[in-house]
Amino acid sequence: DAGITQSPRHKVTETGTPVTLRCHQTENHRYMYWYRQDPGHGLRLIHYSYGVKDTDKGEVSDGYSVSRSKTEDFLLTLESATSSQTSVYFCAISEWGNTDTQYFGPGTRLTVL
Amino acid sequence: DQQVKQNSPSLSVQEGRISILNCDYTNSMFDYFLWYKKYPAEGPTFLISISSIKDKNEDGRFTVFLNKSAKHLSLHIVPSQPGDSAVYFCAGFQGAQKLVFGQGTRLTINP
């Protein structure tokens, strides 16, 4: 299995509070991604990174920010959590040129009350 | 705008029979299509892919077929086994290392 960990694995928070999710990889892969999974929507890309300090938006980036200060860590921040951000969040990594090797972490279940 | 669609939320198949999961897409610029499998409380895992210049790719019990004129792909699992029970996502690769996923189909294999 690819070395990807996500923390925390579960979190319950209240509307309006800031939340940061962490993705850590030991594979030294260049690309890192944050997705959310919701019933009826599959997996939707929030943000992705193509290198240290290089990030770009995905299709559902509103309300989220990311940072990547080291190759191995990719942080997803909800500045002020809303109930619509209740979801399961997955981090993924891939190496340039390998279209079929996007490896996923175990996920973080976030509940915003 | 849903670029990749899996119109069947669920599918139930008898063990040993063929499972066929379908996926439609609207974006003609996808270079590759991929299938991922997901068990509960785990992340998706890559299953099989197909280049847009091919019409078939086979890997053991899994075969993916691509019909570009119909913008349709399907995953065949033969024979189906209980361990195949999972949610299956199809995805299109559109460059910049980004995948666009369908909604997923929950496959249940009955003994």
Please identify every stretch of chain A with a pLDDT value under 70, giving residue numbers as ranges. Answer: 1-2, 96-100
> Of B31 and A4, which is predicted with more confidence?
A4
Query: CB of A20 within 8 Å of any CB in chain B?
Result: no
CB contact under 8 A, B97 and A94: yes
**Mean pLDDT across B23-37:** 93
Work out the average pLDDT over B27-55.
93
Instruction: Report the residue of chain B nearest A2, measured CA to CA.
Output: B45
- Position A4 scores a pLDDT of 95
Q: How many CA atoms within 13 Å lie on the side-chain side of A29?
A: 28
Chain B positions touching A45 (Cβ under 8 A) are 98-100
Of B43, B46, B104, the CB nearest to A105: B43
User: Please, which residues have CB within 8 angstroms of residue A94's CB and are 6 or more apart in sequence?
Assistant: A29, A30, A31, A33, A101, A102, A103, B97
For range B60-86, the mean pLDDT? 97
Cross-chain Cβ contact B96/A44 below 8 Å = no
Q: Comparing A1-5, B4-8, B13-17, B26-30, which segment has the lowest mean pLDDT?
A: A1-5
Asked whether the predicted pLDDT for residue B27 surpasses 90, the reply is no
